[in-house]
Amino acid sequence: MPRATTDPAGTDRPTAAPEPDPAAAPDPAGTPAAPLPPTPSQTIGPFYGYALPFRGGEQIAPAGRPGTIVLHGRVRDGDGAPVPDALLEFWQAGPDGSLTGAPGSLRRDPVTGAVIGRHGLDFTGFGRVPTDADGRYVLHTLPATAPAGHPGAAPYLAVCVFARGLLHHLFTRVYFPEHAEAHAADPLLSRLPDDRARTLLAHPDGPDRYRFDVQLQQTADGTHEETVFLAFR
């Protein structure tokens, strides 16, 4: 792979061996001897706003329809300041516990190409919400359900957080207070101390309404506990 030819900072030394080329990886049907090295993450930066958010991204289920819940909150940094340029993505099991999702989150108008959004029949399970200038987000969705194959599991929404300043996204989860019994047996919650587990719990603050804040970094004065973030392997 071609490299930079100039190196005034002395930090971009040429690689000794050529990179393994993923295109040269074994036939799709086969399995490579060793896992392929992944493509590194880079920050979403400040200018994703005209590319990634889409109309209705915050409505996995229609706002205001009976049965729809509202999840809202604020993303804050280690200074306690709101993060106005974060992007939150949500993924959850369907109301029947299915984990296949459904296409159509960004359904398009074939005439104009504009995003007209979900048709409201299928539950796509996917939401995408940018924070506003005050660091806030609002999501409308169905209550979290356990996967069909594991009906006793504690239901949760999976969350992925992107932001300028974050070189690699962060995963977290939103659990709900209604399922306290299942939480005791949850493979994640059960191995967290209480003060850490609490950061993954939504707080009811109205009928069918919950608050869930994301604290990217513990504040120096300790007033805001850092959210538990996850790594998968």
Partner 1 sequence: MTLTPFTPAPRAFVPGAPLPGPRPLVAPAPPLPTQADISREIAARSAAAERDRAAGAPVPAHPARDYTPYRSSTPRHPQRPPVEIDHLADPEAVELTGPAFGVTDVTDLDADLTRQHPGEPLGERITVTGRVLDRTGRPVRGQLVEIWQANASGRYAHQRDQHPAPLDPNFTGVGRCLTDDQGRYTFTTIRPGAYPWRNHDNAWRPAHIHFSLFGTAFTQRLITQMYFPGDPLFPYDPILQSVTDPAARARLVAAYDHELSRPERTLGYRWDIVLDGPSATWTEEGH
Judged by CB under 8 A, which of 62, 82, 95, 104 binds partner 1?
A: 104
Judged by CB under 8 A, which of 72, 135, 137, 156 binds partner 1?
A: 156
CA distance 84 to 233: 30
Judged by CB under 8 A, which of 95, 101, 198, 211 binds partner 1?
A: 101
Tell me how far, at minimum, the Cβ of 206 lies from partner 1, in Å. 26
Q: Tell me: does residue 185 bind partner 1 (CB under 8 A).
A: no
Q: What is the CA radius of gyration of the chain?
A: 21
CA distance 152 to 135: 35
Q: How many CA atoms lie within 13 A of 113 on its CB side?
A: 0
15/223 with CB nearer partner 1? 15
Judged by CB under 8 A, which of 62, 68, 89, 211 binds partner 1?
A: 89
Q: With helix as H, strand as E and coil as C, how does 96-113 read?
A: CCCCCCCCCCCCECCCCC
β-bridge partners, 140: 59, 70
CA distance 149 to 152: 9
Work out the number of other CB atoms within 10 angstroms of the CB of residue 233. 2
Site string for partner 1, 34-53 (x = CB under 8 A): -xxxxxxxxxxxxxxxxxx-
Site for partner 1 in 63-82 (CB under 8 A): 77-79, 81
78/204 with CB nearer partner 1? 78
Tell me how far, at minimum, the Cβ of 141 lies from partner 1, in Å. 13
CA distance 233 to 227: 20
Q: Give me the residue whose beta carbon is nearest to Fe ion.
A: 45
Residue that has been written with the tokens 């959004």 in this structure? 117
Judged by CB under 8 A, which of 62, 68, 138, 158 binds partner 1?
A: 158
**Which residues here bind Fe ion, judged by CB under 5 A?**
45
Q: Residue 178 binds which entry of Fe ion, partner 1, none, with Cβ cut-offs from 5 to 8 Å by kind? A: none
Q: Of 142, 139, 144, which Cα lies nearest the Cα of 88?
A: 139
Judged by CB under 8 A, which of 61, 70, 71, 83 binds partner 1?
A: 83
Amino acid identity, position 149: G
Site for partner 1 in 105-124 (CB under 8 A): 105-108, 110, 113, 124
H/E stretch holding 183 reads helix 180-185
Q: Residue 222 binds which entry of partner 1, Fe ion, none, with Cβ cut-offs from 5 to 8 Å by kind? A: none
CA distance 194 to 189: 9
Q: Tell me: does residue 169 bind partner 1 (CB under 8 A).
A: yes
Q: Of 185, 217, 223, 183, which Cα lies nearest the Cα of 201?
A: 183
Q: Tell me: does residue 223 bind partner 1 (CB under 8 A).
A: no
Q: Tell me: does residue 147 bind partner 1 (CB under 8 A).
A: yes
